[in-house]
Amino acid sequence: MTENEWIFHLSKYLSTESPIVASYNEDCAVITLETGEFLLLTTDAMVERVHFDLAYTEYYALGYKLASINLSDIASMGGLPLYALLTIGCPTPPDSIWIDPLMEGLVSQLHKYGVKLVGGDTVRADQLILNLCVIGKTERPLLRSGAKPGDLIYVSRPLGQSSAFLKFLKKENFDQIPDELKRSHFYPEPEVILGRAIKDFATSAIDISDGLLLDLFRLCVASCVSAHIFEEAIPVGNFANLEDALSGGEDYALLFTLNEKDTNKLEEISGKLQRTFFPIGKIYEGNGEIILIGREGERRLLSPSGYDHFTFQPLL
C-alpha cells in the first residue's frame, strides 16, 4: 500500500462516532469534552536513517524537532498543547552523553509552549526511534474541512528551506551550508501562537509537513473544493527554489484559509505578532484540483507530490 492507500485503509479501524469529531484526515484526533471544549490528541515518530541522520544531526536538535513536529499538529487545529508522552527505542542503554542533550532539546521546546512531559516508555530497538504523543485542547478546533469557495489561502512563512538543506547536503560540505537552512531543517518552529490567534475566524488549516502542494491538496479534498495559487505569491525561502517551496516538506508553516471579510482580523494579528503572512491564492468549487497560475498568467494543473513516508529513500 502507498501512504495514501494505507491512510484510507486505516480509516476502517478508527472510531468516528460521537463524541469523536475527527479521527483521520486531520492533524489531530478531536474529541468533544463534557466541558464543551475539545480534546486534541496527536502522535508523530522520528526514525534514525529515515527521518534523521546522526552523522550530522545533534541530539539537542532531534529532541527539539520531535517536540516541534508534534506541537505543529496541535497548532494547525488551533490548539493549546498541554501534556506529552515520550517513547524512546534505542540500540544501547541511554547514556548521558546523548540522552541529556536529546531530553534538553525536547523539554526546552515543550516548555516554551507550556507543555509538560509526564511519562513515556523506553525500549531496545536496532535504530534510534523517537515517538511523542501530545495532548492538547481547544475551544474551537480548526479543521482541514472548512474551506469555502471564495476563501483566501495563506501560508504563514517562507517555504522550502528544510528541503533545500537536504539538497545542499548532497553537494556541499556541511560547514558550507547556510545557517538559515540548517535552522529551518533542525529547528522548525510550530505555529502554536498563530493557530490560537486565528482559530476563531480561519475557515480551515493544516500544517505543511509533507509539502505545500500535497498538504493543500489534502485540505482541498477534505473541504471538497479546489485551489488556485499564484506562482509569484508563493513565499520561497532564501537559498530555496519554487520546487522546494511547492513539494519540499518539513516546513511546519501553517497553511490556512479565511473569508475575505476577515482579512482585517489577520492584519490585526499580523501587527500584534509583527509578522507577515502570505496570501497565495483562492479557494474555488471543485474536487481537489490545484491550479498554479504562472507569472505570465499560464495555468498548470498540478498533481500533488510531496514526502511519501513509505517510498522516501533513506538519507544515508
Q: Is 35 a residue that touches a copy of itself (CB under 8 A)? A: yes
Contacts of 284 (CB under 8 A, 6+ apart): 149, 225, 226, 227, 228
Distance of closest approach, residue 54 Cβ to a copy of itself, in angstroms: 14
d(CA 6, CA 55) in angstroms, rounded, equals 31
**Within positions 162 to 181, which residues make up the interface with a copy of itself, using CB under 8 A?**
none
Let me know the angle formed at the C-alpha of 207 by 121 and 158, rounded to the nearest 5 degrees.
Answer: 125
Given 31, 77, 155, 219, the residue binding a copy of itself (CB under 8 A): 31
How many other C-beta atoms lie within 10 A of the C-beta of residue 155? Answer: 25
Given 42, 161, 163, 226, the residue binding a copy of itself (CB under 8 A): 42
Q: Which is nearer to a copy of itself, 32 or 263 (CB)?
A: 32
d(CA 198, CA 77) in angstroms, rounded, equals 10
**Within positions 232 to 291, which residues make up the interface with a copy of itself, using CB under 8 A?**
none
Distance of closest approach, residue 17 Cβ to a copy of itself, in angstroms: 8
Q: Is 302 a residue that touches a copy of itself (CB under 8 A)? A: no
Q: Which is nearer to a copy of itself, 39 or 62 (CB)?
A: 39
Q: Is 55 a residue that touches a copy of itself (CB under 8 A)? A: no
Distance of closest approach, residue 127 Cβ to a copy of itself, in angstroms: 5
Q: Is 294 a residue that touches a copy of itself (CB under 8 A)? A: no
Q: Which stretch binds a copy of itself (CB under 8 A): 21-29, 145-153, 260-268, 293-301?
A: 21-29
CA atoms within 13 A on the CB side of 270: 14
Helices (H) and strands (E) in the chain, counts: 9, 13
Q: Which is nearer to a copy of itself, 118 or 273 (CB)?
A: 118
Q: Which stretch binds a copy of itself (CB under 8 A): 32-40, 179-187, 225-233, 279-287?
A: 32-40
Given 32, 59, 72, 120, the residue binding a copy of itself (CB under 8 A): 120
d(CA 219, CA 144) in angstroms, rounded, equals 5
- List the one residue out of 242, 93, 250 whose CA is nearest residue 162: 250
Q: Which is nearer to a copy of itself, 52 or 154 (CB)?
A: 52
Would you give the end-to-end CA distance of the chain in angstroms? Answer: 24
d(CA 283, CA 225) in angstroms, rounded, equals 7
195 within 8 A of 74, measured Cβ to Cβ: yes
d(CA 283, CA 14) in angstroms, rounded, equals 29
Residue 152 parent element (H or E): strand 152-155
Q: Is 47 a residue that touches a copy of itself (CB under 8 A)? A: yes
Given 56, 98, 201, 312, the residue binding a copy of itself (CB under 8 A): 312
What cell numbers appear for 113 in the block?
Answer: 509552549
206 within 8 A of 253, measured Cβ to Cβ: no
Distance of closest approach, residue 215 Cβ to a copy of itself, in angstroms: 16
Where along the sequence are the contacts to a copy of itself (CB under 8 A)? 1-3, 6, 9-10, 13-15, 20, 23-24, 28-29, 31, 34-35, 39, 41-47, 49-51, 83, 85-87, 89, 93-96, 99, 103, 106-107, 116-127, 129, 131, 133, 135, 309-310, 312
